[in-house]
Structure formats: C-alpha cells, structure tokens
Homo-oligomer: A and B are copies of this chain.
C-alpha cells in the first residue's frame, strides 16, 4: 500500500519531530520507527544508520528552509525589506512545519561533541552549511542595499536571527520575531548608505 517514497517521508517526519522535541541521543530508533508506523528493519533498509537518518533530516530541513527564504525574498520589494525577509521566512517556515522546537542545526550542534577541527563529520558539515547560507546571504543583501558597512549590518542581523531561534527555545521574550524585525529595521535605517557610484 504505502509506496517507498511515502515510507521514507514518514520516517523523516517522525525523526524530525522526535529528535528536536525530545533530543537526538535520548530518542531511540525504535521510537522513531514506531512513530512512523513502520518496522525498525525498514528504517535501516532506507537509511542504514541513525546518523544517516539524522543527516537526511537535516538536509531536508535545510532545503525547506532555503525554499521558504527564497519565497520571502521574492515577496520583498525594497532592499531593506529583502534584508528583513529572514524574519518573514522564520514565520512562514514555522507556520508550515508545525513549529518544531527551535533550530534543528543549533540543537544538533549543542548535543554533539564538536569534532577535531570539524574534520570529516557530515552532520557538522550540514550545520556549517546552514551557517554559511544565512551569513552569506545576509552579507550579500547588505551589499545589495548599499550599506556602507555591509559586514557589520549583516553581523547584527545574524545576531538577531540567532536571538530569535534561542528565544523560541527559552520561551521568552514572547513573539521574538516581531521584536527582532523592529530592532533590525532600526539597525538598517540607522546604517549609513554608500553613494551608488556607477561602475
């Protein structure tokens, strides 16, 4: 009845929910399989190992997050609005994904011992990829907006972005996205602009 694709996604859904609501190490593969309504053997047929399952969950999240941000980016019109689109993306992502606890990449990073010089570990590679995506895009958007100090503006917004995520974990302040967007807007407005020098 259930196609292979369907089973895969149900396993990924179950793992995503359990890993980031109860903790990765604490969640056994048996509970993931049970929540997905499949046998443990099927889980291993599909993913080979728990670590591999985690990797695919993170990869899927990264792809979904990128899509949401792309959409929010496309909806923004002004350069300042494009810089603020990260926060719109957080809201739309959380609304669509059912608001899993907080940031799955930071949660994973917090739970796993950082490997020697970050070598090898493909899970940590995904975490770094997420960081590069956010930091890189914010820098590009700040340059797009002709900020005189694009790296400084990008760093401030990345700080606020991280603040929103961990505030969701802490539960306070309530509605961190709205606060972050307001502070970010004032940071952008206060930032001096480069004269748009023609090439």
Contacts and interface: CB of A to CB of B under 8 A. Distances in A.
Nearest to A152: B179
Interface string A20-47: 0111011000000000000000000000
Interface residues of A, number: 46
One complex includes copies of this chain to the number of: 2
Nearest to A168: B162
B110 A172 contact: no
A102 interface: yes
Contacts of A160: 159-160, 163, 183
B159 A21 contact: no
Given A109-B169, A166-B166, A186-B186, 4 more contacts: A21-B114, A26-B113, A159-B176, A162-B162
